[in-house]
Amino acid sequence: MTTRGKKTAGENPLMLCFDTSTAVLAASVCRGDEVLASRHSHAERNHAVRIVSDLKALLEEAGAGEVDAIAVGKGPGSYTGVRIGVSAAKTLAWAWDKPLVGLSSLETLAMAAGPYLRGEKQATETDSFPSLRAGRSVWIVPIMDARRGQVYGARFGTTDGAVWHRLDDDAIRLIGDWGPSLAASAAEEGALLAFVGEIGPHAAVLAALEGAFALPLTIDAGEMGRLAAARLAQGLVDDVHRFAPNYTQLTEAETKLGDGARTEGQA
């Protein structure tokens, strides 16, 4: 549960930020908008092995003896990965008595497109990405593979790559249906459409969308820190004990258990 005006961390806080919702453990130590240290570890979703050592090394690299707040990606994404990250963040926030800021992992993934839109980074020759045009809206659609033709996805709008607004909630969707629908809406409204994130498994579907761009990206820990700092400045913090991951869908085991219970009840 996110609350406003509760315990905050004062001015220009030092924040430890991390997200484990994908195969990449993205983490950073930030003071306001300044990124003091960041790292991206490819652990193939086995984050439990590395999260403690990686966060300790990151704090040492940043010269941070104590942080003022904790920020974490709450999903959606890998069930196990999200659970590990949220559990670690709640433990640290409780043990250190620090404010906790929960962030949508899809929103942090979308923010990774910011440096490309602002011209601070360039896509490779084999990838394509839209350049900002004065006054024209860009729809950034972060996606994570959810298997069986599904993605965890959302949609955000921006005109400058710095100020964003949410257009669609985080949800699990069939990319074969959702993609064409977004492309048609973007064409109708004159918006540029760009998919970012885990593009590979859905490359064929996205390539068939007229006027759409696609760029493989992972969560940018620095951009995550800037997003977290903005939330904290607004006093948007979470109750440590009530804070829960956003799994979006049941795990396969829970689905089978539910099916079994329904079958038993119908017998």
Per-residue pLDDT tens over the stretch 180-189: 999 999 999 9
H-only helix segments in 74-132: 79-96, 105-111, 114-117
Tell how strand 192-197 and strand 34-42 pair up: unpaired
Calpha distance 22→230 (Å, rounded):
23
Calpha distance 255→116 (Å, rounded):
39
H-only helix segments in 97-220: 105-111, 114-117, 175-189, 203-207
Find, among 23, 86, 79, 81, the residue nearest to 251 by Cα.
Answer: 79
> In the 8-state DSSP scheme, what is residue 234?
T
- pLDDT given at position 25: 92
Residue for token pair 């652990």: 43
In the chain, count of helices (H) and strands (E)? 8, 12
Could you give the 3-state DSSP secondary structure of residue 145?
strand
- pLDDT given at position 248: 81
Which residues of the chain have a pLDDT value below 50?
A: 5-7, 251-255, 257-267
> In the 8-state DSSP scheme, what is residue 130?
P
- pLDDT given at position 11: 72
- pLDDT given at position 45: 57
Where does residue 134 fall: left (phi above 0), alpha (psi -120 to 50 degrees), or beta otherwise? beta
- pLDDT given at position 43: 66
Half-sphere exposure of residue 21: CA atoms within 13 angstroms, side-chain side: 33
- pLDDT given at position 121: 83
| Cis geometry, peptide bond prior to residue 99 (ω within 30 degrees of 0) | no
Q: Round the average pLDDT of the chain to a whole number and report it.
A: 86
Helix axes 79-96, 51-62, angle to 10 degrees: 50
Task: Please check whether residue 83 is in contact with residue 62, taking contact to mean a CB–CB distance below 8 angstroms.
Answer: no
Find, among 22, 15, 4, the residue nearest to 64 by Cα.
Answer: 15
- pLDDT given at position 165: 94
Calpha distance 93→100 (Å, rounded):
6
Could you give the 3-state DSSP secondary structure of residue 194?
strand
